[in-house]
Copies of this chain bind each other. A is one copy, B any other.
């Protein structure tokens, strides 16, 4: 086991890394040349069009105002300055609710840490339970002396841990409930104050049954005219635009290559760029690059126009799904929340997501396909989760010094160097895990897409849920069980599967040091790395050098990114899990977690204000998931504490712990009944209020015009945009101003009062 010294070295390394990242960020961000990487949000909102210059030669690229370097950590208070309501206006409710998860962590763990350090640490430290183990081959460190393991079996001091476990449960539940309540209220207010948007009037209808006598369009029209006669307004068919998407994508690639060749030619006017037609562009006939790509782009543009024409006029490409719009929000709310026909697999209605949130590829999937896909993904996910454990177990066993020495005896002299030993023990297990986990989110996202969800937000929620389960099994349980398994192999092989919960409980205190290093690598250095945005920085400068010709190209070269709910939230949840599990066992972990939550809150608040551009707005719809996972973590922590105490012969206090999971489950059910509906349903009263207000304010509103083409396939819109740029003649543009705004990614059309003092104050 790692000693306090090892932890110290790891901590030092990670703190240095984190500071290096922060320093690099502080320097990079005030360089005008990086302005679009570190403040893309302000460009997207149109509140900044070019970087601020301090004057003087080269100041267009490099910041020469040296005073600004002194105030290099200023961004931290700046990030905290913007009040929450304004942040909702600036970045949307999703981002604000997301940030509140970090706050939730601070609120839960700060008081718990205080209580744990004032009561349990003294109680644990002043024992000699572990001293009895000195003669056995179980190794332990001073850190373990702070943990519950240090108490002798059957000690009456376990009552303290029992009380603390109760206190933790009650405090966590209290904070969780208050937060759920707040966020439900925020969501309802947000929706109530929200401006008119197409999705408020629109319902997505799927699985429209085939009819031999009517086309899908006629069928939809008739069905809703009959069954919602007073409320039905119009509908919009969904086209199967797979081929169009492919063409658009290919044209974009060709366009990039064309731009690259033109730029090359501009720099060296004497030489026209040549490309080879053969394998990988390395062999074969040479042709003129600019000519070749220009003709390719033109050909593709023609094809796209033809394909679009085909989609518009033909009916064959219409899939059995439609966006049905109603005259009022009340009508849409009714249709979205009721069953339409006898057969529950046909005419399925649900609220349409925002147009930019829709994932069009999955709209056409029939009911049976969805079920089969779900099954396939379930099985695939099971195998993914299961087989991922093998490499992790291998790395974990290597990361143990003794393990390495046994596996590779020739490395022994090298490893015995003290510093290297500390690095291996403190750093390697965490980083190995992290690398494994880097590949995962994309696979999980692909799985969700295959599974058939119809909006990006639900895709991300599903992927987050899978990622959390994966982390729970592989990172949390995997690290505890497998790690111990390699240490105590003999003992383990002869145990039955039923004893594993107990075994986990026993192993938990021993694994505290591993998780401390994990938190430092993943939580501290990782978060500090997030603010540096190394990948977007490099990509932006590469694109800037090779592809950018106009200011608009430069805009497109900026990738502001998003919060990344599908990876970020499960990561936070792992910290909740670790915090709750270790709070009553080894409270030494808590300060590390608190630092993570604090640092991450500041960093992500900065990013939300200055960088990220959310691709959709779900008004905090993910909160029930967040709540459920924290509650799950709480129950897991209670069960594991029970498992641990039962092996410590604390037979008087253990049965009392049984009450806790039951109370927690009851609490969860209560919260679910009380607050979850705010995230799932849309109350008729709310709809009616908004309808009435609107009718009074705008009695002559032409809703049909407002809704027209709101849900057209995005490639239709993208295509038109490019068509215009290319100077192609186009009879008429189907795009409303609303749509253009939506496409450009600005969530609220009303410009903000220019409070852009935040990002400029460096």
Contact = CB atoms under 8 A, between A and B. Distances in A.
Contacts of A338: 333-334, 337-338, 681, 683-684
A554 B333 CA distance: 55
A188 interface: yes
What is the count of identical protomers in the complex?
A: 2
Nearest to A501: B498
Interface stretch (A94-102, A647-655, A666-674): A666-674
Interface in A677-707: 677-678, 681-686, 688
Interface in A578-592: none
Given A230-B230, A371-B670, A666-B375, A684 B339 contact: yes
Interface stretch (A122-130, A193-201, A270-278, A340-348): A340-348
Nearest to A337: B338
Contact of A339 (B375, B496, B499, B681): B681
B226 A688 contact: yes
A593 B438 CA distance: 58
Contacts of A674: 344-345
A683 B342 contact: yes
23 contacts: A226-B685, A226-B688, A227-B684, A227-B688, A334-B338, A338-B338, A339-B677, A339-B682, A340-B684, A340-B685, A341-B686, A342-B678, A342-B685, A344-B673, A344-B674, A344-B675, A344-B676, A344-B678, A344-B681, A345-B673, A371-B670, A371-B673, A498-B499
Contacts of A678: 342, 344
Interface in A226-240: 226-228, 230
Contact of A686 (B342, B375, B498, B682): B342
Nearest to A688: B227
B333 A683 contact: no
A675 B676 CA distance: 25
Interface in A344-397: 344-345, 371, 375
A227 B685 contact: yes
Nearest to A498: B498
Counting from the closest, the 10 A-B pairs by CB-CB distance are: A498-B498, A344-B677, A339-B681, A341-B685, A339-B683, A334-B334, A337-B338, A227-B688, A341-B683, A227-B684
Interface of A: 188, 226-228, 230, 333-334, 337-342, 344-345, 371, 375, 496, 498-499, 666, 670, 673-678, 681-686, 688
A685 B371 CA distance: 25
A684 B681 CA distance: 18
A683 B337 contact: no
A344 B188 CA distance: 12
A660 to B, nearest CB: 15
Among A230, A334, A340, A678, find the residue whose CB has the most chain B CB atoms closer than 10 A: A334
Given A230-B230, A498-B499, A688-B226, A188 B339 contact: no
Contacts of A337: 337-339
Among A338, A341, A345, A498, find the residue whose CB has the most chain B CB atoms closer than 10 A: A338
A233 B188 CA distance: 29
A154 to B, nearest CB: 19
A685 B227 CA distance: 6
A177 to B, nearest CB: 14
A169 B499 CA distance: 30
A168 to B, nearest CB: 22
Nearest to A184: B342
A188 B342 CA distance: 8
Contacts of A375: 666
Nearest to A682: B339
A188 B496 CA distance: 51
Nearest to A331: B334
A340 B683 contact: yes
A688 B496 CA distance: 60
A639 to B, nearest CB: 14
Contacts of A682: 339
Contacts of A685: 226-227, 340-342
Given A371-B670, A371-B673, A498-B499, 7 more contacts: A333-B338, A337-B337, A340-B683, A341-B683, A344-B673, A344-B675, A344-B681
A382 B228 CA distance: 48
A674 B226 CA distance: 24
A143 to B, nearest CB: 32
Contacts of A230: 230
A226 B371 CA distance: 41
Contacts of A334: 334, 338
A393 to B, nearest CB: 22
A734 to B, nearest CB: 32
A584 to B, nearest CB: 23
A145 B661 CA distance: 45
Among A333, A344, A676, find the residue whose CB has the most chain B CB atoms closer than 10 A: A344
A342 B344 CA distance: 27
Contacts of A686: 341-342
Contacts of A226: 685, 688
A230 B230 CA distance: 9
A187 to B, nearest CB: 10
A493 to B, nearest CB: 16
